[in-house]
C-alpha cells in the first residue's frame, strides 16, 4: 500500500465528494458537531445546483448564524434579531426575479421575530425561510428558547422548563402551515447522511418553488442540535435530539403544494 502515491488516489473517477463551491474557504465559527454547518452546506449546494449563484440574496439575522455571510458565497444581508422575514420581504418585492432566503434560529424566528414570521408567511411572500430549531439560544450561551422542551434545563430554566410558568414549546411550523400564505412547510434534520440527503431534497423543493413562482412561502424547519448549549458531546447530543426532540417535533412534510397533509 505504501507505494501508492496520493496522486494515484485523487483522480476524477475516484471523486465521491468535494467542497461545496458556494461555501467560502473561511473556517466555520460553529462548535464542532453543530448542525448549522451542514445546513449551510446543503443550502449552498442547492443554490449552486439550481444555477442561482448570481441571483440569490440571503438574509441571516442575529443568532449563532449571524456570521453566515462569512460562509455562504452569495450576496448576503445581516439582519436585526428577528427581522429577517421583513428584510427579505422588501428584497423580494423590489427584486422579484431574485431568489431570496432567510436563515433563522428558533429564538429569532419564534420569539422576538414571531410577528415578522407570521406576517411574511401570511402575506405569502415568495421567499424561502430555513428555520434552525435547536431548542435553545445558542449564541447568547444557552438560555431557554420558545422551542425548549418541557423539563429541559437551560441557563434561564436551570431547574427545567416549567410549562406552568414558562409556557409550552412552540410548534411554530405547524402554526405557519395553517396560513394560506405558505405553500410548502416541512420539518427535517441533518444529523446523519440519510437525514441530510432528505433535508437537501426539501431545501431544493423550497427553492424550486420560489424559482417556479409558486404562490406562497416555502418554510423548512431543521431540528438541529446545540451540543454546546445542551452541554453534551456531539454524538450524545444527536442521540438526545433523536430521543427527545423528534417525538415532539415530528419530522416530515406538513404542507405540500399549498395543501396540508
Partner 1 sequence: MGELRLMKGNEALAEAAIRAGTDGYFGYPITPQSEVIEYLMAEKPHERTGMVVLQAESEVASINMLYGGGGTGKKVMTSSSSPGISLMQEGLSYMAGGEIPCIVANIVRGGPGLGDIQPAQSDYFQSVKGGGHGDYRLPVLAPASVQEMSDFVPIAYELAFKYRTPVLIVSDGLIGQMMEKVELFDQMPRLTDEEINEKYPWGTNGKPKGQERRILTSLDLDPHKLEKHNFKLQEKYRTIEENEVQYELIDCEDAEYIIVAYGSSARISQKAVQLAREEGIKVGILRPITLWPFPKNAIDELVVGGVKGFLSVEMSAGQMVEDVKLTVRERTKVDHFGRYGGVIHSPEEVLEALKSKIIGG
Number of residues that bind partner 1 (CB under 8 A): 32
Q: Which of 85, 88, 89, 90 is nearest to 112 (CA)?
A: 85
Least Å from the CB of residue 228 to ligand SF4: 4
Report the sign of the C-alpha dihedral through residues 115, 83, 81, 47, in that order. Answer: positive
Q: Which does 140 bind (CB under 5 to 8 A by kind): partner 1, ligand SF4, ligand TPP, none?
A: ligand TPP
Tell me which of 79, 136, 195, 203 binds partner 1, using CB under 8 A: 79
Is 134 or 210 the residue whose CB approaches ligand SF4 more closely? Answer: 134
Judged by CB under 8 A, the stretch of 110-118, 200-208, 218-226, 236-244 that binds partner 1 is 110-118
Contact code string over 88-107 relative to partner 1, x by CB under 8 A: xxxx-xxx--x---------
Which 203-232 residues touch ligand SF4, going by CB under 6 A?
A: 226-229
- Number of chain residues interacting with ligand SF4 (CB under 6 A): 11
DSSP letter for each residue of 214-243: -SSEEEEEEE---HHHHT--HHHHHHHIII
Decide which of ligand SF4, ligand TPP, partner 1, none touches 30; Cβ closer than 5 to 8 Å per partner kind: ligand SF4
Query: How open is the CA angle 100-102-105, to the nearest 5 degrees?
Result: 170
Residue with Cβ nearer ligand SF4 (137 or 183):
137
The residue count of the chain comes to 261
Query: 160 in helix, strand or coil?
Result: coil
Distance from C-alpha of 147 to C-alpha of 187, rounded to nearest angstrom = 14
Measure the CA angle with vertex 205, ends 226 and 130; round to 5°: 30
Cα 143 from chain centroid?
19
CB of 118 to ligand TPP, least distance (A): 16
* Interface ranges with partner 1 (CB under 8 A): 53-57, 59, 66-67, 69, 73-80, 83, 86-91, 93-95, 98, 115-116, 118-119
Amino acid at each position: 500500500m505504501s507505494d501508492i502515491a496520493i496522486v494515484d488516489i485523487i483522480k476524477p473517477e475516484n471523486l465521491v465528494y468535494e467542497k461545496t463551491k458556494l461555501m467560502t474557504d473561511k473556517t466555520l465559527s460553529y462548535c464542532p458537531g453543530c448542525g448549522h454547518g451542514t445546513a449551510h452546506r446543503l443550502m449552498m449546494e442547492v443554490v449552486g445546483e439550481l444555477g442561482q449563484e448570481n441571483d440569490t440574496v440571503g438574509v441571516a439575522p442575529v443568532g449563532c448564524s449571524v456570521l453566515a455571510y462569512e460562509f455562504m458565497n452569495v450576496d448576503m444581508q445581516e439582519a436585526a434579531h428577528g427581522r429577517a422575514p421583513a428584510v427579505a420581504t422588501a428584497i423580494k418585492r423590489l427584486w422579484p426575479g431574485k431568489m431570496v432566503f432567510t436563515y433563522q434560529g428558533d429564538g429569532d424566528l419564534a420569539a422576538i421575530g414571531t410577528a415578522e414570521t407570521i406576517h411574511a408567511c401570511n402575506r405569502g411572500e415568495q421567499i424561502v425561510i430555513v428555520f434552525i430549531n435547536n431548542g435553545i439560544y445558542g449564541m447568547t450561551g444557552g438560555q431557554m428558547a420558545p422551542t425548549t422542551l418541557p423539563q429541559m434545563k437551560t441557563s434561564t430554566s436551570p431547574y427545567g422548563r416549567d410549562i406552568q410558568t414558562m409556557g409550552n414549546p412552540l410548534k411554530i411550523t405547524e402554526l405557519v402551515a395553517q396560513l394560506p400564505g405558505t405553500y410548502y412547510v416541512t420539518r427535517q434534520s441533518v444529523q446523519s447522511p440519510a437525514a441530510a440527503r432528505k433535508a437537501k431534497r426539501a431545501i431544493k423543493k423550497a427553492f424550486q418553488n420560489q424559482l417556479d413562482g409558486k404562490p406562497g412561502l416555502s418554510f423548512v424547519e431543521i431540528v438541529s442540535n446545540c451540543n454546546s448549549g445542551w452541554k453534551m458531546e456531539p454524538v450524545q447530543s444527536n442521540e438526545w435530539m433523536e430521543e427527545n426532540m423528534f417525538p415532539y417535533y415530528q419530522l416530515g412534510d406538513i404542507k405540500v403544494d399549498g395543501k396540508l397533509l
